Chain A
Amino acid sequence: MLDLLSGFIIELRNAGLPVSLTENLDAMHAISHIPLEDREAFKYALGATLVKNNAHWRSFETVFEVYFSLRGPEYKIIDGEAGEGSLDDFMQQLQNMSQQGEGSGGAGGMDALTPEELMNILMNALLNGDQALMRALAKQAVQRFAGMEPGRPVGGTYYLYRTLRNLDLDGMMDKLMDATKQQVGGELTGLEERLERDEYNHRIEQFKQEVEAEIRRKLVADRGAEAMAKTLRKPLPEDVEFMHASRDEMQNLKKALQPLTRKLAAKLARKRRHGRKGPLDFRNTVRHSLAYGGVPAEPKFKYPRPAKPELIVVADISGSVAAFARFTLMLVYALSNQFSKVRAFVFIDGIDEVTDYFKKTEDISEAIHRINTEADVIWVDGHSDYGHAFEVFWDKFGKEVNPKSTVMFLGDARNNYHASQAWVIKEVKQKARKVFWLNPEPRSYWNTGDSIVSEYGTHTDGVFEVRNLRQLEAFVEHLV
């Protein structure tokens, strides 16, 4: 047990969770108070002592599932035949079903069913929200469709994809809705339909998780926990790179962004308020001295009021760096009350101002959506042309850069070998208070291929590598 637990903790650290020695000891203490048979309680005991940040919970859960997955002969990967244990389960389930007159009869177990019959059972299970049956079906589906072979070096996502493709869950949704309509007899109102849809979405999601868990269990049984943990290791939300995030990770990033802006805003406001005291405010001191008969008993000081910077964001939104631009714009606008004014420009090879999109709506994601669909950023061919975009920027908006403004350029500076027009940056630098360049690429890629970031960078006050939320947060703090 001790070995397993220390392996578990090492894996947590490898996954990036900060687990201290005392927390480790706490976990050991905690599990001595918990009945080990109770898997849920065991999980929460470890969670409460080892994970101190909710954003890390998912990573914890994955590692936990791998290390403390249910083990036993029934999870062996078997070609063709069903394991004994699961078959018994299944017969029972089937009998239940046939009593309701919906199954295809108890004979033969799951394996004898045709795919169509299997789909029917699955649909009924989803329709009734029958958890036990769904679990059994997940098991069967994996066995039948995933085509798992022992020792094959393929990741779990491959098997998951194969299984789900065969199940056609999207089509299932429509069938479910039809079935519900029939049950009710007649049309559903808009509200009812939406609620039903959400309910089924929830159930299908549950089913997918069952399938995923089943695949994972089999893989763990096949390869052992350490190897499995390594392949499943996912970066924490704040370490996910903008440029390579999957759709799922993007969702998580978005979720992580909200509390982050709140935290940053609170922190910045606090910083502003707690600035050092300034020089003596003579007028104010004299005025207050009247209360003491002209003796300046209570000195008054001027509080420095640091001017809020005016921000101009110029972002490349071409495919490769679009996600990064989106996140930075979101963060900047969420913090817009920390700046006296925020203006946003986006470009690919043409440039367009998008400040108005943010002004008109309170909803940042809607504004971002409009930028993607409406902004006029294509001049010739829709390949990044920093040089041309900057030239137009300088012609049209150059006069609006003033000594109060901080200018941020976002992009990887991959210019497709066009002219750089780096003089624009130089001019901007002379007029503006500060000029920064944020690059979402790893530092080692800079100035390779068509990247000319240092050509622009020499004219700025700093080029920052901003690959993930953690670095973005650090930069914004630096900015304000």
Chain B
Amino acid sequence: MAPRFESVQSVRDGLKAVNYLADDGIAGVAFLADRLGKPILVEGPAGTGKTQLAKSIAEMTGARLIRLQCYEGLDESKALYEWNYKKQLLRIQADKNSDSWSDVHDDIFGDEFLLTRPLLEAITAEEPVVLLIDEVDRVEVETEALLLEILSEYQVSIPELGTITAKQIPLVFLTSNNTRELSEALKRRCLFLHVDYPQMDREKEIVLTKVEGITEMLADQVARIVRSIRQLDLKKSPSVSETLDWARTLVLLGINNIDAEQAKETLHILLKYQSDIAKAAKELSVD
């Protein structure tokens, strides 16, 4: 199969065209994932654009995005495939008299009776797809094993049907908030990408592209204040999405130049814990 991307730079440019500002690491790993045909495990604090990365790559390559949201208790029948039990029953009842048993037996375990779930769907799709397995750290360790076959071989084995191999190799993203250590087996099969809070310059760029009607000066101030706040020892540092929310708020309020008072009044958009807000407010006004 032809590679999707020409070079690392082309990934960056492409992502920029769909309003996602990638740094060298992000673009480089995306490029490699395509060339090596390996999934990417994206890890990092909440709200730094992990899910958005997969969406943006899908948009950029014009591929369909198939998303599997993970949660505790996710199982085979929700992630891979399930037999359409009711339809099978109907089929058996419909020709109760005519067919011999062996015909029916072969028949009811065919493609027609198979309900595809996200993973199988990504494999069987004809057109290019991006598969996003979101918050993979939420499933139990045992369930992780479900993913292993599809991640390394791009195939799914169904006992009644045999092995279904991918028609094309999808680009796979797994995201994790790192609430637990993922198994070695899973990590080994993936390229690892840690997405952290962006550098100040990049954050400013992000604010400028994502928030409409913001002035360069305000964006600069926003990025610098957020950087200062992130250096504090907080329960939860402001994420990129919260920075964006804050910038939007400031624009809506018609503020062009933030002073300490205004910053303090709108802090609750950036920070979600009372103790954090108090701490940040103190730091911003006193020094």
When distances are taken between beta carbons in the complex, the residues of chain A under 8 Å from B72 are: 270
Interface membership of A99, Cβ < 8 A:
no
Interface membership of A3, Cβ < 8 A:
no
Interface membership of B78, Cβ < 8 A:
no
When distances are taken between beta carbons in the complex, the residues of chain A under 8 Å from B89 are: none
In the bound complex, do residue B43 and residue A54 qualify as a contact, i.e. CB atoms below 8 Å apart? yes
Which secondary structure dominates where chain A touches chain B? helix
Distance between Cα atoms of A20 and B258 in the complex (Å):
51
Interface membership of B52, Cβ < 8 A:
no
- Find the residue from B194, B225, B231 having the highest chain A CB count within 10 A: B194
Q: Which residue of A lies closest to B8 (CB)?
A: A41
A22-50 vs B, Cβ < 8 Å mask (1 yes, 0 no): 11001001100110001011001101110
Q: Which residue of B lies closest to A198 (CB)?
A: B228
Interface size on B, residues (CB 8 A): 51
Interface membership of B153, Cβ < 8 A:
no
The verdict on A190 contacting B192 (CB below 8 Å), with A54-B43, A263-B178 known, is no
Interface membership of A447, Cβ < 8 A:
no
Shortest CB-to-CB span from A320 to chain B, Å, is 25
Distance between Cα atoms of A38 and B25 in the complex (Å):
12
Shortest CB-to-CB span from B115 to chain A, Å, is 28
Interface membership of A339, Cβ < 8 A:
no
Distance between Cα atoms of A48 and B140 in the complex (Å):
25
Distance between Cα atoms of A79 and B236 in the complex (Å):
50
Shortest CB-to-CB span from A416 to chain B, Å, is 35
In the bound complex, do residue B38 and residue A26 qualify as a contact, i.e. CB atoms below 8 Å apart? yes
Distance between Cα atoms of A45 and B28 in the complex (Å):
7
Distance between Cα atoms of A270 and B73 in the complex (Å):
12
In the bound complex, do residue A34 and residue B258 qualify as a contact, i.e. CB atoms below 8 Å apart? no
In the bound complex, do residue B178 and residue A259 qualify as a contact, i.e. CB atoms below 8 Å apart? yes
Per a CB cutoff under 8 Å, which of B24, B231, B260 touches A40? B24
Distance between Cα atoms of A270 and B32 in the complex (Å):
36
- Find the residue from B28, B200, B224, B283 having the highest chain A CB count within 10 A: B28
In the bound complex, do residue B178 and residue A49 qualify as a contact, i.e. CB atoms below 8 Å apart? no
When distances are taken between beta carbons in the complex, the residues of chain B under 8 Å from A181 are: none
Distance between Cα atoms of A49 and B28 in the complex (Å):
12
In the bound complex, do residue B285 and residue A23 qualify as a contact, i.e. CB atoms below 8 Å apart? no
In the bound complex, do residue A191 and residue B38 qualify as a contact, i.e. CB atoms below 8 Å apart? no
Shortest CB-to-CB span from A199 to chain B, Å, is 7
When distances are taken between beta carbons in the complex, the residues of chain B under 8 Å from A53 are: 192
When distances are taken between beta carbons in the complex, the residues of chain B under 8 Å from A22 are: 188
Per a CB cutoff under 8 Å, which of B190, B275, B286 touches A190? B286
Distance between Cα atoms of A47 and B180 in the complex (Å):
21
Interface membership of A365, Cβ < 8 A:
yes
Q: Which residue of B lies closest to A21 (CB)?
A: B188
Per a CB cutoff under 8 Å, which of B43, B224, B275 touches A362? B275
Interface membership of B263, Cβ < 8 A:
yes
Residues of chain B from 34 to 59 with CB closer than 8 A to chain A in the complex: 35-36, 38, 40-41, 43-44
- Find the residue from B32, B231, B273 having the highest chain A CB count within 10 A: B32
When distances are taken between beta carbons in the complex, the residues of chain B under 8 Å from A47 are: 25, 192
The verdict on A191 contacting B286 (CB below 8 Å), with A38-B8, A259-B178, A363-B279 known, is no
Per a CB cutoff under 8 Å, which of B179, B191, B286 touches A266? B179
In the bound complex, do residue B32 and residue A191 qualify as a contact, i.e. CB atoms below 8 Å apart? no
In the bound complex, do residue A363 and residue B275 qualify as a contact, i.e. CB atoms below 8 Å apart? yes
- Find the residue from A18, A44, A195, A363 having the highest chain B CB count within 10 A: A44
In the bound complex, do residue B29 and residue A44 qualify as a contact, i.e. CB atoms below 8 Å apart? yes
Interface membership of A51, Cβ < 8 A:
yes
Distance between Cα atoms of A270 and B178 in the complex (Å):
15
When distances are taken between beta carbons in the complex, the residues of chain B under 8 Å from A38 are: 8
**Which A residues are closer than 8 A to B by beta carbons?**
18, 20, 22-23, 26, 29-30, 33-34, 38, 40-41, 44-45, 47-49, 51-54, 57, 189-191, 193-195, 197-199, 202, 259, 262-263, 266-267, 270, 361-363, 365
Known: A40-B24, A54-B43, A363-B233. 11 other contacts (CB 8 A): A18-B184, A47-B192, A54-B194, A191-B225, A191-B284, A194-B228, A195-B228, A198-B228, A262-B179, A266-B180, A362-B273
**Which B residues are closer than 8 A to A by beta carbons?**
8, 24-25, 28-29, 31-32, 35-36, 38, 40-41, 43-44, 72, 140, 178-181, 184, 187-188, 190-194, 196, 200, 221, 224-225, 227-228, 231, 233, 235, 258-260, 263, 273-275, 279, 283-287
24 A-B interface contacts by CB (under 8 A):
A20-B184, A26-B38, A34-B28, A34-B32, A40-B24, A41-B28, A44-B25, A45-B32, A48-B29, A48-B191, A52-B188, A53-B192, A54-B44, A54-B194, A54-B196, A190-B286, A191-B259, A191-B260, A191-B263, A198-B228, A266-B179, A361-B275, A362-B275, A365-B233
